[in-house]
Amino acid sequence: MPATTFSIEIERCKQSRIHEVDFEHLVFGKEMSDHMLVADFKDGTWQSIRIVPYQPLVLNPAVSGLHYGQAIFEGMKAYRLQNGKIAIFRIKDHWERMNLSARRLCMAEIPEEIFVEGMKQLVALDKAWVPKQEGSALYIRPLMFATDIYIGMKPSDSYRFIIFTCPAPPYYSGAVHTKVITQYVRACPLGVGYIKMAGNYAPTLLIAKQIRAEGFHVALWLDAKERKYIEEFSTMNAFFRIDDTVITPPASKTILNGVTRRSVIQLLKDEGIKVEERPISIDEIIEAHKKGRLREAFGTGTAASVSPVARIHYEGIDIYLPEEQEYIPMLREKLDAIRYGKVSDPYGWLTIVDA
Ligand code: COI
């Protein structure tokens, strides 16, 4: 749906807060950059697209997004390239996924020019906030929620779209310990597990809290029907290397088809490594481990990048992954070489913001 008139009003902050931030000791998701983009969908059109100083929102308590869950988001990153330019990673893929989520939740779609041009202008304005430290990046959070003031079940006629950013280190500082969850499920067949909606995350928090107390970093979910096949981590897609083949659950209605997941599959294939997108059961993983064939396991995501798994726990069984890894460091190196502009961008994944 095209915006009727596309122009972005910019109100700059009076005083930057950047000097309050310790870039050497960043904490993920804590320090927001100076500005945010805001746009409103009203009367069938996107309007008043503006970049303003980052600030709290004033909301009517009856806005339907707070009640009935019409709330979606994306997670993206901008990197400081070796040549000093700033680039956003796979911007169009994230825009497409945001609209996939919007369509499923009966929300207004966001036009490409607002998402792409708006984000480029926002990131260019706050480019000083893009960290210089390798491994760190500017995390970008586009979100949209319903703003009709209405108590009752109907799709909202109005929406607010926001983009804000924060300088961020990798989500996990080391290899993760994961517990396979058998008492709850994350997503059901024919359900909404494949979209990036707030409602897919909230139900995992109770489990996250419980397993954190047991020393695990993240939950690993099984399919809802048989509780046998691996789906994904709460925060990442899942990959397993058995012998020299990398196996990942297939994109389906129950897992998020991650942008980092797709990037990693592409890089593996281009390295001549066999990748299978197919159901993989927890029994197959245990069996492979017993035979010494389970060589590596990792998660992928925008926030987590490529995160190695140190331990998988399932019903009293502990699987410790070998410390020696080959594919994980190779993938991190190849991905970072593109993201930080150390090599040419063979897949056209980068969008330069201030060319
Ligand atoms: C992301 O990877 O961007 C996410 O949204 C996951 C979240 C745990 C930060």
Distance between Cα 75 and ligand 1 center (Å): 6
Mean of pLDDT over the chain: 96
User: Is there an atom of ligand 1 within 6 Å of 299 CB?
Assistant: no
CA dist 234 and 231 (Å) reads 10
CA dist 189 and 256 (Å) reads 13
User: Is there an atom of ligand 1 within 6 Å of 204 CB?
Assistant: no
Nearest atom within ligand 1 for CA of residue 301: 2
Q: What is the pLDDT of residues 10-40, one digit of tens each?
A: 999 999 999 999 999 999 999 999 999 999 9
- Confidence band for 1, pLDDT divided at 50, 70 and 90: low
Q: What is the pLDDT of residues 284-321, one digit of tens each?
A: 999 999 999 999 999 999 999 999 999 999 999 999 99
Distance between Cα 302 and ligand 1 center (Å): 6
Q: What is the pLDDT of residue 354?
A: 83
pLDDT reading at 249 higher than 80: yes
Q: What is the pLDDT of residues 195-204, one digit of tens each?
A: 999 999 999 9
Mean pLDDT across the stretch 274-280? 98
The DSSP line for 235-249 is SSEEEEEETTEEEEP
Distance between Cα 130 and ligand 1 center (Å): 18
Look-up of token digits 């502009």: 341
The DSSP line for 328-350 is HHHHHHHHHHHHTTSS--TT--E
Query: Phi and psi of 144, rounded to 5°?
Result: -145, 140
Q: What is the pLDDT of residue 5?
A: 58
Q: What is the pLDDT of residue 6?
A: 75
Residue 234's beta-bridge partner residues?
Answer: none
CA dist 168 and 28 (Å) reads 5
Mean pLDDT across the stretch 52-64? 97
Amino acid at residue number 314: Y
Mean pLDDT across the stretch 162-187? 97
* DSSP state letter for 204: G
Q: Which residue's CA lies nearest to atom 6 of ligand 1?
A: 235
Residue 127, C-beta contacts closer than 8 angstroms, at least 6 positions apart? 86, 353, 354
| Ligand 1 pocket mutation pick from 212, 300, 302 by most atoms within 8 angstroms of CB | 302
User: Is there an atom of ligand 1 within 6 Å of 144 CB?
Assistant: no
Q: Helices 327-339 & 259-270, crossing angle to 10 degrees? A: 110
Q: What is the pLDDT of residues 94-142, one digit of tens each?
A: 999 999 999 999 999 999 999 999 999 999 999 999 999 989 999 999 9
pLDDT reading at 2 higher than 80: no
Distance between Cα 235 and ligand 1 center (Å): 6
What is the rounded end-to-end Cα distance, in angstroms, of the chain? 27
Distance between Cα 301 and ligand 1 center (Å): 7
- Prediction pTM value: 0.96
Distance, CA of 180 to chain centre: 21
Q: What is the pLDDT of residues 202-218, one digit of tens each?
A: 999 999 999 999 999 99
Nearest atom within ligand 1 for CA of residue 304: 2
User: Is there an atom of ligand 1 within 6 Å of 303 CB?
Assistant: yes
Give all domains of the chain, ordered by start, each with its CATH number: 9-169+343-353 (3.30.470.10), 176-324 (3.20.10.10)
Q: What is the pLDDT of residue 197?
A: 98
Pairing verdict, β 76-80 and 86-89: antiparallel
Q: What is the pLDDT of residue 3?
A: 47
pLDDT reading at 355 higher than 70: no
Strands (E), 182-335: 218-222, 230-233, 237-242, 245-248, 274-277, 294-301, 305-314, 317-320
Distance between Cα 91 and ligand 1 center (Å): 15
| Ligand 1 pocket mutation pick from 98, 163, 171 by most atoms within 8 angstroms of CB | 171
User: Is there an atom of ligand 1 within 6 Å of 75 CB?
Assistant: yes
Distance between Cα 334 and ligand 1 center (Å): 21
Q: Which residue's CA lies nearest to atom 8 of ligand 1?
A: 235
| Ligand 1 pocket mutation pick from 76, 166, 217, 235 by most atoms within 8 angstroms of CB | 235
Could you give the percent of the chain with pLDDT greater than 90?
97
